[in-house]
Structure 1
Amino acid sequence: MQFDFHSTRSILVERGGARNLAKRIAERGGKSAFIVTDPGVLSAGLLEKALPQFKEISLPVQIFSDVQADPPVSVIDSAVKAAQDSKADYIIGFGGGSSMDVAKLVALLASGKEKLSEVYGVGMAKGPRLPLILVPTTAGTGSEVTTISIVTVSESEKKGVVSPQLLPDVALLDAELTLGLPAHVTAATGIDAMVHAIEAFTTKRLKNPVSDCLAKEALRLLASNLHQAVKAGGDIDARENMLLGACLAGMAFTNAPVAGVHALAYPIGARFHVPHGLSNSLMLGPVMRFNLEAAHSMYAELGQIIKPGLQGSTVEQATQLANYLGGLAGALGLPQRLVEVGITAEDVDQLATDAMLQTRLLQNSPREITLNDAAQLYREAL
């Protein structure tokens, strides 16, 4: 047995912990801070929990709030320049996956020693980077504990920067920040986190005993709390369990990488601007059913965590799980078919072609996905 496991240096779970963010930076030697976030976080007032302490202890802070979903190269460039101009020595990603992904790249690139165009791929980013704290405000991406940052490089393609250098110094999980999440965001990000755990557990490459344990515990927390978090958004216990579950799923898939669901979801997000979690949920059922012949025993094992009591052979249990998860988005009030987000049969061939560009992800699929397979999977999801 041989594997290499990476994780964030410190994970802090603390209700109300965002209020002490400035002190934590100062305690670590920070003299000025640069916060990367998005307009939604600002309008929801979430940063208002953290900002007073910066004034109280006279720690200078500048806010970059122009992050958009599926951030393009232009947003990364603007954020890096703003951070360089601020001369901040501590970077904070405060928001969903896009804000945290941008913050990671700002911390890496602000020194000017590396360029974004040079660090795409696995292990290309060498560092060093500025000190970094990530504060998730959604329970989905797990970006606060992953070695990955995703950038939209064209209308049809996303690329990843993958390096241990992107792991932050601290991941701060404050469930109070997720209390205001709308039900549809809670549902989409929750399914996204479940996809991370499912694909980490069934990945063809780099699967290991540590990632397996994390994936299963993540699914236990997520599956048993998702409906409650969607239905009763003020339930702090459900919110905290979702946040921790998403974090554990992130730890799993940054070591045992995701595969076909993500490969087919990325073109949907890039071309049709469908949120990442929703894109994943739309492709989850079809890809799981496609993978049954190669992964049914693993799916059956996860089925006893997600839907305890499934009966029959491993193939039958895996099929039941795939059908249940394929219908989960609809059960939670989200679109369940591609046509509901504006995709038609005429788009299938282009989406399939785009998906074939995701070689970093496709190589992890337990069953090989060809161009024709991808087209058929999109048709099934229509």
Structure 2
Amino acid sequence: MNPIELKQPQRIVFGTGCMNKMCEEYLASGLKNLFILTADPILPLISPVIKHLEEGGVKTMVETKILGEPTVNDFKRILKEAQEFGADSVIGIGGGSVMDVAKLVATFMHTEQTIEECYGIGFVKQRGVWFACAPTTAGTGSEVSPNAILLDETDNGKKGIISNFLLADVAYLDPQLTATVPPRITAETGMDALTHCIEVYTNKFAHPCVDMYALKGIELIAKNLERAVKNGKDMEAREAMLLGSMYGGLGLGPVNTAAVHALAYPVGGMFHKSHGLSNSVLLPTVMKFNMEANAKRYADVAVACGCEPGATDEETALRGVEFVAQLSKNCGIPQTLAEIDIPQSEVPAMAAAAMLQQRLLKNNPRPVTEEDCKDIYNALY
């Protein structure tokens, strides 16, 4: 068994209403200048939190200008705002984009390193200021992962910064914050969380220490995603989805994702499609491509989804692929690249871009060539 390092936030606080605990703990911390990254639709939900903190003597600055997936220039602009404000602490309250930027802002507050020097794994040299994450979507698992992703405008490529210094001091997971997420975003982010769990479990570097999180995450999401999409006020489903998303996030540091994400990055980066949507469209086809490399693992995924075992692992695995595709369809997600307006003429360029994601492709259970990338993309027309 290969050695594995399990790292997570210093503390994880999970449960309905736990943002109240966040206020109590922050007011007792001695920190005074809190830079809050969030999004306009979230402000009504967290205005009581901000008011409570300000009444306790905390100076706050709220940044809501992260629109869509964040770029390198977005990050640099927001970092400058936080530095001019004199932030001694940062919290990201939002989806994965908001939390990723919050991690990076906190980490780069007082360093001479540039963001460009830190692309890849393990290049960040020091811890930044105190920071916390509070997810408002059940999707990325960013609140518990050491990963942050930015879109680099110079080449339209997704750049990952992975470091244990990007792990939050505290992750507050309050299902109430996800209750008003619209059905489309609930569906796309939920499928992103499912992708994390599946890719962690079927990864070439999968590990028993993480397998238990991945399988439980698959089970929770498979049972509850459609419920959450169709009734956003179903708090039992929302709680299960947030927990499943967190389990997926816990696998991103020690194991990480693979070919689905590698092929999704060009779709998102070149055509500005959401990360969750890009993963959703690709997931069943990549699962089918990978099945021959480890049918037993994909059969386990199918069983975790609630599928009846077949006569062989291959038969069971195929049922899992069909289940995932049907779940995505039931949640209203497009099933082909054509449906999301990606020109088939761009397949060669996307395939070349996907091959640059070797930090992910090396994890895939089956080797992936550039021709394989083209075949996978072309199968979605």
1:290 matches 2:289: yes
Aligned to 1:136: 135
Amino acid of the structure 1 residue aligned with 2:82: A
Aligned to 1:11: 12
Aligned to 1:276: 275
Amino acid of the structure 2 residue aligned with 1:32: N
1:192 matches 2:165: no
Where do 1:328-347 residues align within 5 Å?
328-347=327-346
1:308 matches 2:307: yes
1:203-248 deviation per Cα after TM superposition (whole angstroms, max 9, x unaligned): 113x211110110111121111111111111011110111111001
Q: CA deviation at 1:294?
A: 0.4
Aligned to 1:37: 38
1:263 matches 2:259: no
CA–CA separation in structure 1 for the residues paired with 2:299 and 2:320: 8
Amino acid of the structure 2 residue aligned with 1:237: E
Aligned to 2:70: 71
Q: TM-score scaled to structure 2, two decimals?
A: 0.96
CA–CA separation in structure 2 for the residues paired with 1:8 and 1:145: 6
Q: CA deviation at 1:116?
A: 0.6
Sequence identity of aligned pairs in percent? Answer: 38
Where do 1:86-105 residues align within 5 Å?
86-105=85-104
3-state DSSP class of the match of 1:215? helix
* Deviation larger for 241-250 or 223-232: 223-232
Aligned to 1:235: 234
3-state DSSP class of the match of 1:160? strand
Q: CA deviation at 1:157?
A: 0.8
1:109 matches 2:93: no
**Unaligned regions of 5+ residues in structure 2, if any?**
none
* Deviation larger for 184-193 or 152-161: 152-161
CA–CA separation in structure 2 for the residues paired with 1:183 and 1:162: 30
* Deviation larger for 83-92 or 325-334: 325-334
CA–CA separation in structure 2 for the residues paired with 1:158 and 1:369: 19
8 Å CA contact 1:20, 1:50 repeated in 2? no
CA–CA separation in structure 2 for the residues paired with 1:216 and 1:122: 26
Provide closer, same or farther for how the CA distance between residues 49 and 19 of structure 1 changes in structure 2, counting only shifts above 3 A. farther
8 Å CA contact 2:263, 2:351 repeated in 1? yes
CA–CA separation in structure 1 for the residues paired with 2:216 and 2:103: 26
CA RMSD of aligned residues (A): 1.3
CA–CA separation in structure 1 for the residues paired with 2:48 and 2:151: 31
8 Å CA contact 1:19, 1:53 repeated in 2? no
CA–CA separation in structure 1 for the residues paired with 2:54 and 2:89: 16
8 Å CA contact 1:19, 1:49 repeated in 2? no
Residue-pair matches, total: 379
* Deviation larger for 265-274 or 22-31: 22-31
* Deviation larger for 107-116 or 177-186: 107-116
Amino acid of the structure 2 residue aligned with 1:375: K
CA–CA separation in structure 1 for the residues paired with 2:41 and 2:97: 12
Stretches of 4+ aligned residues off by more than 3 angstroms: 19-22
Amino acid of the structure 1 residue aligned with 2:40: P
3-state DSSP class of the match of 1:381? coil
CA–CA separation in structure 2 for the residues paired with 1:307 and 1:334: 21
Q: CA deviation at 1:104?
A: 0.4
CA–CA separation in structure 2 for the residues paired with 1:212 and 1:296: 16
Amino acid of the structure 1 residue aligned with 2:140: T
3-state DSSP class of the match of 1:88? coil
CA–CA separation in structure 2 for the residues paired with 1:381 and 1:336: 8
3-state DSSP class of the match of 2:342? coil
Q: CA deviation at 1:20?
A: 4.4
3-state DSSP class of the match of 2:251? helix
Q: CA deviation at 1:122?
A: 0.5
Provide closer, same or farther for how the CA distance between residues 5 and 20 of structure 1 changes in structure 2, counting only shifts above 3 A. closer
Q: CA deviation at 1:351?
A: 0.9
**Unaligned regions of 5+ residues in structure 1, if any?**
none
Q: CA deviation at 1:27?
A: 2.0
CA–CA separation in structure 1 for the residues paired with 2:347 and 2:233: 40
8 Å CA contact 1:265, 1:283 repeated in 2? yes
Aligned to 1:201: 201
8 Å CA contact 2:268, 2:274 repeated in 1? yes
Amino acid of the structure 2 residue aligned with 1:156: N
Where do 1:147-186 residues align within 5 Å?
147-154=146-153, 155-186=155-186
3-state DSSP class of the match of 2:150? strand
1:120-162 deviation per Cα after TM superposition (whole angstroms, max 9, x unaligned): 1100012121101100000000000001000111353111000
3-state DSSP class of the match of 1:140? coil
Amino acid of the structure 2 residue aligned with 1:103: A
8 Å CA contact 2:307, 2:319 repeated in 1? no
1:222 matches 2:221: yes
* Deviation larger for 169-178 or 60-69: 60-69
Q: CA deviation at 1:46?
A: 2.5
Aligned to 2:124: 125
